Structures are given as C-alpha cells and as structure tokens.
Structure 1
Amino acid sequence: MSRPAAPEALTEPTERAGRGWTAALSLANGAIWVGWYGPLQILLALQAAELAPPGTAKESVLAWVTGAGAVVSMVANPLFGALSDRTASRFGRRTPWILAGVLGGAGALVLLAGAGTVVGMALGWCLVQLTLNAAFAAITAAVPDRVPHGQRGAVGGWLGAAQILGVVAGTGLATVAGGVVAGYLACAGFTVLGALPYVLLHRDPALPAGRRPALRLRALLAGFRISPRRHPDLAWAWLTRFLINLGNALALLYLLYYLRDVLHRPDADGGVLVLTAVNAVTLLGTVVIGGFWSDRVGRRQPFVLWAGVIMTVATGLLAGWQTWPGALCAAALLGVGFGVFTSVDFALMTQVLPAAADRGKDLGVINIANALPQVAAPVLAAPIVQHLGGYRVLYGVAAAIGLLGALLVRRIRGVA
C-alpha cells in the first residue's frame, strides 16, 4: 500500500516562487520594518527626551524602553512562529498571523502615540513588539514554506531590500510627519496598507486539520529547546547572527545622540535621515546582488564572513574618525556589508533548520538572535557612554564584537 503524500505545507518546495508572490511578501515585510524603525530611529528617542524625569538621563530611559521591548520580541517571535506552524486555517498557516499582527501593531502604535509617562511608553512599545513580531514570524516562515534552496538567496535579497526601504520610509515618516504623534500615526497606517496586497492576493499552503499538532502547553514549550549538540550548525549560525547584529545594534542605538552630542550637528534628526538614506543606497546596491550571487555559486559562508569584516571596518570609522564625513563613510560601508549579510545569512539560516513541520518555531528561535541584541545593546552601551570612555569606546567594542561574529561562521560544516 503506497504511503500518502505529505501535505504541501510540510514538503520541501521545488517550484520557484513567482515574482508577484515575492513582491507582495517583500512589501509586507517592509511595512513591518516601518512600524519598528520609525519609532526606533526617531520617535522613541524624542519621546524619551520629553518624558525623562528630572535627573534621569534620556539615554537611560531609551535604553530601558527599547530593552523591555526587545525582551518581548525575543519571546513573541518563536511563540507566534510555533502557533503559526500549528494553524489549520483554510487561509494557510501564515496569512492569518500576518493580518492579525499588522492590525494589532497599528493599534499599538496609536496607543504609543498617546503615552504620557515613561511606563506608558514602555508598555506601548512592548505591545508594538508583541504584535508586529507575530506578523514577522509568519512572513519569515513563509520563505522556506514556498521557496526552494537555490532561490532563497535572491528572495532573501528582496526581503532585505524591502527591510531597508522600510527603515528609510519609517525614518522619513517619523521625521516629516510633523511631530511625535503624527509620526506614530503615519507609521501605523503604512504598516497596515503595505501588508494588504499579500493578505488579499496570496494564500499559504493549508495544513489539514488531521495533521495539526495538538496545542499542549508542555509540548509547545519543550519544542523551543534545540540542542546545540544535535544541531551544531544551527548553533553556530545563531551565534554568528547574534554577534553581528549586536555589533550593528551598538552602532545604531545612540545615533541621534551621537550626532547631537559628539558631532554637534544643528539638525540631528535630519542627520539621522541623511545617514539612513546613504546606508539605504549602498545596502540596496548589494542586498539583492549578494543574494543572487550566492545562489549562483552555491556558497554562503564567504559572503557572510566578508560582509561582517566590512561592517567591522565601518563601525571602527565611527570610533576613529568622529566627523560628519566619517559618519557618512561609515553609513555607506555599513550598507554594503549589511546588504550582503542580510540576504545571504537569511538563506544560510533556512538551510540549517531541523524540520519542515517546525519552520516557524525554529526561525523564531533563530530570530532571537535579532531581538536579543536589542536587549544586550542598551545594557552594554549605557555604562560605556556614561562611565567607560564614551562613544569612541562604544564603537570600538561594537567593531570587535561584529568581527568575532563574522569569524565564527567558519565553524558551520553543513553549508558551504
């Protein structure tokens, strides 16, 4: 008797993803980054300066708020990834969570706009992280669900391009909207509108109810334990991503304050927008090309390694050449390095996943390597800036951490 075919949702994809699907998923991904980075680049820093109690440094308030949000993100991403793995909706496993996440995220941004205290600001940002991570976990998992290995570098490149365009758009909306409240509302609206084409026009492969894992809390929690001994490539890939992202987070966390307090730029908000735009141009020049090139040669490690080295050089410029031209050069180099890293590292990660049935959960665990640096960066950065040598030491530490992460990619054995 022949064995029944596995549901499409649980098979390894072989057909190439279409351009329309890739474009819609990329737009949805970019919309989520608008919801994250309008606040992270501009709005939260301005709110922290307004709401900081007398005698409390704005840097400490910003560090506390972003750190709390990152903790929520670190838990929410794998949790919602696991829930999407088990979703048997006729609309697929991922689409319902994308829709619920962006609607919830937009509502949370509106609540954050009205925060009048530091506690209210922190709660609002934590809710933004909770909801948008539900959507992001589903979008990330849709790639290994629908894209074959040989196309993942390219698709990762388009997702990366959408990500940086989302960062630019979020920063731009936050800068030109006309105030903190208007900035939050603009980001909320864009987040919803950008996700609608994917939600309305594309549906994911459905998981038949008979194949749906039981939603038992103990089994769900146990599934988050992934043994580094059994899956060493996944562990090294996770550590590589964590360290490179930590170096990048340390470089970007206090960018507004760096321009204002070290370089004494008269329009620090505008300076952040200029640097973000320069970064975006160079990133867009490498993110898709890097992914296509990696697919063509069939290798991932060299691209991740040299991308990390370039980012290390860029962060070192912020430490050693503290001028506006130095900041511009650093932004350009960071874009080159992070563009290649974004697309190729994503493809590498999808190739070390243990099981098709748990793609959402496993990628959620991997995405902790994106969220945890947002927790660790404020903890490291605030005392360095305030007590241990200032911004020069901060960027030197960031460069060293990023370089270590780049070198560790060589420990991965199963992906060239």
Structure 2
Amino acid sequence: MSQAAVPEALTEPVVRVRPGWTSLLFLANIGLWLGIYAPIQVLLPKQAELLDAAHKETVFGVVTGIGAVVSVLANPAIGLLSDRTCSRFGRRHPWTIAGAVTGALGLVVLSQAGNIVVMTLGWCLVQAGLNGMLATLTSAIPDRVPIAQRAQIGGLVGISQMLGTVLGALVVTVLVTSLPGGYLVSAAVVLAGAAAFVLRTPDATLPAAFRPGGRFREIVANLWISPRAHPDFAWAWGCHFMINLGNALGTLYLLFFLKDAVRYPDPDTGLLILMGLYGAALTVGALTAGYFSDRANRRKPYVLGASVAMALAALLLVFWPTWPAALAAAPLLGVGFGAYWAVALAILTEVLPAAQDRAKDLGVVNIANSLPQVIAPLVTTVILAELGGYSGLFTASAAATLLAGVLITRVRGVA
C-alpha cells in the first residue's frame, strides 16, 4: 500500500502544533488531573476519616487501591477501543467526552457517599472515566505532535498535572471547604476542560477499511507487548513505573505525614504551601528540560538527573522529618518530576511499537501511572506498621526513583 493511501490518523505528524491547540490540551489535562488529585490529596483522606476515624489509613488505602485496579484495566481498554473507532467525530474525541462524563458522575456519587461501599463505587467510576480520558488525551501527542516538539509539549503536560494537583488542593481547602462542594466543583472542571478540547480541536478519522481486525481473543491478546520483541518499550515502561511508584510512596500519605509525624498545626494549609513550592519548581524543571531536550535531541540525561533529584528529596525527609525539611524537599521533588515528565512522553512515544495501536500502547504505558496506585497503599501499610514508619516509606521512595534511572540507561533507541 502506498504512503499516500495511508490515512492521516496513521501517519507520523510533521507539522508543529500551534499554541491554540496546545493551550486546549493543557486545559483538558488540568481538568483531568484536578479530578484525580483533589480527591486523592484532600477529599478522600478527609472522607475516610469521617467514615472511620480509627482506621482512616486502611479505608483510604482500600478505596484508592480498588480504584487503581479499575484504572489499570480502563486505560488500555479505552485506548484500544479508540484505536478501532471509525466515528465521523474522530477516534479519540468521543472517548474523551465519555470519560469526562463518567468521571464527573463518579465525583457526584462521592459527594453523596455516606458509607465506604458507596465511596468505593464513586471512586471506581472516577478512575474508569478519567483514565479513559487520559488514554485519549495522551495519544493526542503522537497523533498530532512531531517528534522534534514532543519534549516541550510533554513538559506542558507535566505542568498541567502539577497545576491540576495544586489548583485542586487550593479549590477544596480554600475556595470550597465543604466535602460535597469540593467533589461537585471538581466534576464541573473536568467537564469544562474536556468539552473545550473536544469542541475546538480536530480529530482525524479512521476509515473503516483501516480498522484493525481480529476476534475478541486476538484483540485482548494484542494488549500484550512483548519485551523480547520491543525491549526499548519494556525498559522505558519499567522506568516510568518506578518513577511513579516512588512518587506515589512519597506523596500519597503526605497529609497524614504532616499531621502525624511533622505535627504541623494546620496540615491542610501546610499541604497547600508544599504543593505551591512543588508546582513552581516543577514548572521550571519541565520548561527548562523540555526546551533543551528538544534542542539537543537528547532525553536520557534528563531522566537520570530527575531520578537523583527526586531521590534526594525523599532522603531529606528520611533524615529530617521536619517542616523545614519538607519546605526544602517539595521544590526539589518538583524540579525533578517536572524534568522527568518533559522528556518521559517524548521517550515513550518514540518507542511505541506501531502507529495503528498508539492509544492502546499508551494505555499500557499509563498502567505504569496507575499500577503504583494499587501497589503503593499496600506497601505503605506494611512499611508504616512494620518497616520504619515514615522514614522507611521515604527510603523506599528514594530507592524506586534511583532504580528508574538505572532502567532508562537500557533504552538503546533514544539518546
């Protein structure tokens, strides 16, 4: 088949994306991450404490763990479905808006949850919907952005994750102080960001003749990406998993750390201050690393530097579990995570096995975002109880991020 016959949806983009498209993707991602992290950082811990104060850590861990299992399944599944969608509205946009609606519905359920079962159901809906949305928004990068621009766009995506986290904490601790109101405002932001992106940006259609075939069993089997056949993808996935595991171990119980270990008098405000420092540093790290990485066409040195910076941030809290140490660790973690995210998407989109499976393969990549949310609560429970408390937890976080740096050195196809 000639190159001219290949539809736009399956070609490698060569035209640089414009600021308008980038801004709308940025806003959609802010809404997505606010919808995930405002609950994780503030609302779910508070709700767990309201429902069962004596076992708040366990309730929070169980709810987030079950939700993370749902996210692990939803992300590649929705990605695979979007790869095979031949709608006249495009491959990605129908699933983006469906995911936003499902996620918003879950947030509404959480706003009314009076027991742990309903709380778990609501969070599962949030994770299913927003991880489906994540699969399609992430695939917009290899769909639309040329390789030479991907680190800069990846940096902006990393900044959007930070801003979603910081704005989420600000909204639900300062602007809207009630638990139900926090969930409802988060739902509105998710819907607004998704609608703006879907209504104002193009989405290439896939002709029915190019839809991948196969029976259901073959389609499901296609979710597996062989490490032997695609070693660079496997090593990059492992690096992404360890970075996210380290980040989850270091941040998932941050509110409880401030309250129970640091004994900061106002943990909500303390969390907001740390998120502000983290966010400012992340922005600097992401923009700087994205610009210089694209300019030099080098990715791995920035990952190595990021893994060291993040590990140092965790080790500060191992040796000095104090408020001044937290003030120093937050920007160090932010600049490292920002630099990592700027080049991570560039690396991961460059090692994808096939253009026709971009969203499915990126859904598999996004498992490396979601799976740590399953593992971290289980590991954290054991560490806090048996392996050194918060010092052990932050040591594990540092070890995970350093291992990520080791794994990225095994990727051969990216400089």
TM category (shorter chain) comes to: over 0.9
Q: Residue 383 of structure 1: CA displacement?
A: 1.4
**2:255–2:271 Cα contact (<8 Å) kept:** yes
Pick one of 129, 132, 143 that aligns with 2:130: 132
Query: Does residue 17 in structure 1 map to residue 20 in structure 2?
Result: no
1:33-64: CA deviations, max 9, x gaps? 010011000000001111127xx521111111
5+ residue gaps, structure 2: none
Q: TM-score, length-normalised on structure 2?
A: 0.97
Pick one of 163, 166, 172 that aligns with 1:165: 163
1:369-404: CA deviations, max 9, x gaps? 111111111111111112222101111111111111
Q: Residue 285 of structure 1: CA displacement?
A: 1.1
1:235-284: CA deviations, max 9, x gaps? 00011111111111000011011000011111111111111111001001
> Matches of 2:3 and 2:274 in 1, distance apart?
57
Q: Which residue of 1 aligns with 2:61?
A: 63
Kindly report which structure 2 residues correspond to 1:318-357, keeping only aligned pairs within 5 A, or say none.
318-357=317-356
Q: Which residue of 2 aligns with 1:276?
A: 275
Q: Which residue of 2 aligns with 1:218?
A: 217
> Matches of 2:118 and 2:102 in 1, distance apart?
17
Q: Which residue of 2 aligns with 1:8?
A: 8
**2:34–2:186 Cα contact (<8 Å) kept:** yes
Q: TM-score, length-normalised on structure 1?
A: 0.97
The one-letter code matched in structure 1 to 2:55 is A
1:335-368: CA deviations, max 9, x gaps? 0100000110111000000000000000000111
The one-letter code matched in structure 1 to 2:224 is R
**1:105–1:128 Cα contact (<8 Å) kept:** yes
> Matches of 2:348 and 2:98 in 1, distance apart?
26
Q: Single out whichever of 387-396 and 71-80 deviates more from structure 2.
A: 387-396
The one-letter code matched in structure 1 to 2:370 is A
Q: Which residue of 2 aligns with 1:297?
A: 296
**1:82–1:361 Cα contact (<8 Å) kept:** yes
Pick one of 145, 148, 173 that aligns with 1:147: 145
Query: Does residue 366 in structure 1 map to residue 365 in structure 2?
Result: yes
**2:147–2:350 Cα contact (<8 Å) kept:** yes
> Matches of 1:280 and 1:333 in 2, distance apart?
10
> Matches of 1:368 and 1:407 in 2, distance apart?
20
Q: Which residue of 2 aligns with 1:29?
A: 29
Query: For this pair of structures, how many residues does the alignment match?
Result: 414
Kindly report which structure 2 residues correspond to 1:36-47, keeping only aligned pairs within 5 A, or say none.
36-47=36-47
After superposition, the Cα gap between the structure-2 partners of 1:332 and 1:2, relative to the gap in structure 1 and judged at 3 Å, is closer
The one-letter code matched in structure 2 to 1:7 is P
> Matches of 1:217 and 1:327 in 2, distance apart?
50
Percent of aligned pairs with the same amino acid: 52
Question: SS of the residue aligned with 2:5?
Answer: coil
> Matches of 1:351 and 1:387 in 2, distance apart?
41
Q: Residue 215 of structure 1: CA displacement?
A: 7.1
The one-letter code matched in structure 1 to 2:49 is A
**1:86–1:215 Cα contact (<8 Å) kept:** no
1:179-222: CA deviations, max 9, x gaps? 11111011111111122221111121111122122474212201
Pick one of 42, 62, 74 that aligns with 1:76: 74
> Matches of 1:214 and 1:228 in 2, distance apart?
23
The one-letter code matched in structure 1 to 2:82 is S
1:75-108: CA deviations, max 9, x gaps? 1000000001011111211111111111221111
> Matches of 1:150 and 1:223 in 2, distance apart?
29
> Matches of 1:144 and 1:352 in 2, distance apart?
11
Kindly report which structure 2 residues correspond to 1:190-205, keeping only aligned pairs within 5 A, or say none.
190-205=189-204
Q: Residue 3 of structure 1: CA displacement?
A: 6.7
5+ residue gaps, structure 1: none
Q: Residue 174 of structure 1: CA displacement?
A: 1.6
**2:281–2:334 Cα contact (<8 Å) kept:** yes
